[in-house]
Amino acid sequence: MRKIRAIILIFLTVLVFILSCTKDEGININKYDPDKHDFVGVLLEHRCMLGPWDNPPILMLYDSTFNHASTLIGDISNEDSELIIGINGEIVGIDSIFVSSYDLLSAIPYHDFLVKKAGEFTAKKYPCLSSIRPEINEYLTNWNKTFSWGFESEDYTPILKVRMTNTYSTDTFKPYYELWYNGITGQFIKEIRVPDKDFCN
């Protein structure tokens, strides 16, 4: 009996793995089209801390700097959270969007990806601004991280951005370096730093 249960457990584990891989391969990414999409932003889900624990999540659409968000109403999958989406829909009520349909415009959930990339980049190029969590072998950045997103002006390639800012600086314009990555392939695009110097020398 135990052998049968073990075999069933192994079979189910393999099946879940296969299905998850198939799902990832089937993601259909579209190009942003300002003539087609009424709204564009990063989809994030929020769970209300009040009321029953099994309340469905509230889905929000965030602008390019994550400073403004609109509540989304309609058939939207929370599995697309942290991706850039283009929406066909209309404003309803106070700053809510009714979603008729939407397209995925990026393939990489931004947060963990950018945190990891920022840590690795900083450890390699600015070791004086890096530290490590030995228990999980994860690189950390000493400067404050903020996230944003955008598109390449020519072909609307989605860009995921992470900026490390020296918030302790007394300078009027606080030093920072910002990393850009392709939101579909994850490929590094460029670094922007202000002022343009090696922060460790």
**123-166 pLDDT, tens digit each:** 999 999 999 887 777 899 999 999 999 999 889 999 999 999 99
96 and 162 fall within a common domain: no
Given a cut of 60, whether residue 15 has pLDDT beyond it is: no
Give the domain range for residue 78: 29-104
Q: Is residue 15 part of a domain?
A: no
Average pLDDT, the chain: 85
70 and 90 fall within a common domain: yes
39 and 97 fall within a common domain: yes
Across the range 178-197, mean pLDDT stands at: 96
134 and 181 fall within a common domain: yes
Given a cut of 80, whether residue 9 has pLDDT beyond it is: no
Q: What angle do CA 31, 33, 34 make, to 5 degrees?
A: 150
186 and 128 fall within a common domain: yes
Question: What's the pTM value of the predicted model, to 2 decimals?
Answer: 0.81
CATH number at 54 reads 2.40.50.430
* CB 103, CB 76: distance < 8 Å: no
> In this structure, how many other beta carbons lie within 10 angstroms of the beta carbon of residue 107?
17
What gap in Å lies between CA 59 and CA 73, rounded to an integer?
A: 8
* CB 84, CB 158: distance < 8 Å: yes
**Residue 46 φ then ψ, to 5°:** -130, 140
What are the pLDDT digits (tens) for 49-59? Answer: 655 556 778 99
Given a cut of 50, whether residue 116 has pLDDT beyond it is: yes
Q: Is residue 188 part of a domain?
A: yes
pLDDT tier at 72, thresholds 50, 70, 90: very high
Q: Is residue 1 part of a domain?
A: no
57 and 99 fall within a common domain: yes
- Three-state DSSP state, 79: helix
Q: Which long-range contacts (CB under 8 A, 24 or more apart) does 25-29 make?
A: 27/104, 27/107, 28/104, 29/104, 29/105, 29/106, 29/107, 29/184
Q: Is the peptide bond before 195 cis (omega within 30 degrees of 0)?
A: yes
85 and 137 fall within a common domain: no
Instruction: Please tell me the total count of domains within the chain.
Output: 2
Across the range 33-58, mean pLDDT stands at: 81
95 and 37 fall within a common domain: yes
pLDDT at 19 (0 to 100): 34
* CB 89, CB 98: distance < 8 Å: yes
